[in-house]
Amino acid sequence: MQIIIASDYADMSRKAADVIAAQVKNKPSSILGLATGSTPIGLYAELVKDYEAGLISFKQIQSFNLDEYRGLEADHDQSYRYFMNQNLFNHVDIDKAQTHVPDGANPDADAACAAYEIAIRQAGGVDLQLLGLGHNGHVGFNEPADFFPVDTHVVDLTESTIQANSRLFDSIDEVPRQAYTMGIGTIMKADQILVVANGADKAQIVADAFTGPVVPQVPASVLQLHPRVTVIVDAEAGSIIKDRL
């Protein structure tokens, strides 16, 4: 696991964009695993800049997003499909038919999750998976649990995640209580993983997840067992882990 402490959010975003841009340049038909949340917004903006500068093309890229709220239609402004369109897909030459997000509108959870898992497998698996980090160590929507869930599945969101994500909704009552998410097994199958985190409020979980014990109560800790992980954090999020490296 390589841990890089960037100077600030802009530096973290640029360094993370460089990792993704290198993957896209080296393998123009890459399968990218993508993430939502506030953290990757800056790195998506950097990738759009690279595209506009003619440095990279997403023409042959396929993408699979980590997760989606259950019950939100794709055009809901808090759906992760909408987020991806707004922050990346609408601004680059990616073929939207080749971009995949779990189908939050499918009421049949088992069917939605099984179809997603099969689609990833049929595409040949994820080359590079981008991840943000929840305050409780969740990745995608894999919440702290007594075991590591393997495949794409439906989850009940924890109160802390509902609380954290309510900032983006008009009221906390509008936050969906469930989501579809890639499993830890799905994530760990990616060839390469890139984790980003910023802000002082992530400092403790960054340190616990990447230097603490590997336990399902801190889902991101499992990434310590993956052979090719790069963690890029800003100085604030790196303020505790820096003394443990």
- Collapsing DSSP states into helix, strand and coil, what is residue 59? coil
- Contact (Cβ atoms closer than 8 angstroms) between residue 67 and residue 36: yes
Residues 135-194 that bind ligand GLP (CB under 6 A): 140-141, 161, 165
Instruction: Give me the 95-134 binding string for ligand GLP, x by CB under 6 A, dash otherwise.
Output: -------------------------------------xxx
- Contact (Cβ atoms closer than 8 angstroms) between residue 155 and residue 143: yes
Q: How many CA atoms lie within 13 A of 30 on its CB side?
A: 22
- Collapsing DSSP states into helix, strand and coil, what is residue 96? helix
Per the residue annotation, which of 136, 142, 165, 198 is the catalytic one? Answer: 136
**Using CB under 6 A, which of the segments 17-25, 34-42, 204-212, 234-242 binds ligand GLP?**
34-42
Q: Is 91 a catalytic residue?
A: no
* Of positions 39, 87, 99, 186, contacts ligand GLP by CB under 6 A: 39
Rounded Cα distance, 90 and 70, in Å: 23
Helix (H) or strand (E) holding 51: helix 41-52
Q: Does 94 bind ligand GLP (CB under 6 A)?
A: no
CB of 148 to ligand GLP, least distance (A): 16
Per the residue annotation, which of 67, 103, 234, 236 is the catalytic one? Answer: 67
Q: Is 146 a catalytic residue?
A: no
Q: Is 87 a catalytic residue?
A: no
84-118 residues labelled b (16+ CB within 10 A) or e (exposed): bbebbbebbebeeebbbbbbbbbeebeebbebbbe
Instruction: Give me the 50-89 binding string for ligand GLP, x by CB under 6 A, dash otherwise.
Output: ----------------xx----------------------
Per the residue annotation, which of 68, 127, 143, 236 is the catalytic one? Answer: 143
Name the closest residue to ligand GLP (Cβ). Answer: 132
Rounded Cα distance, 149 and 162, in Å: 20
Helix (H) or strand (E) holding 65: strand 62-65
Q: Is 136 a catalytic residue?
A: yes
CB of 26 to ligand GLP, least distance (A): 25
Residues lying near ligand GLP in the complex (CB under 6 A): 35-39, 66-67, 132-134, 140-141, 161, 165
